[in-house]
Amino acid sequence: MPLFNKKYESKPTPVRTGRCNIGCPPVAEDLDEYKNISLTLGNKELKFLDGIWIHSNKKGDIDDLTEMNRKIKRLEGENNLNKVKVEILMDLLTQNVLELNKLQGDDKV
């Protein structure tokens, strides 16, 4: 008697024909509506921009604030890059000074 009979074998699954959305039109959703979230509580209006809630009465204030936040993020990135460059230059300078001292015969480091 064989261990695995044919009654225990899995049957092939039928092909799914309705799986692809070939006949359906693609979903056209306007995502710009979801980018500008605002909340009005009484006489105060809050807007959600760049991950923070901002309280402002004028639209120009919010635009200026978002522009300043973007500029701050860009400047922080540049500052971090400059710090890395300075560290690399300091390492190179230290290595060159050690090699120069070794060539001169001064081992007073």
How remote is the C-alpha of 20 from its chain's centroid?
31
Which tokens belong to 102? 């070794």
User: Where residue 41 falls among pLDDT bands split at 50, 70, 90?
Assistant: confident
Q: What is the pLDDT of residue 32?
A: 64
- Which one has a higher pLDDT value, 23 or 44? 44
Which residues face 52 on adjacent strands?
A: 49
For residues 88-103, average pLDDT:
95
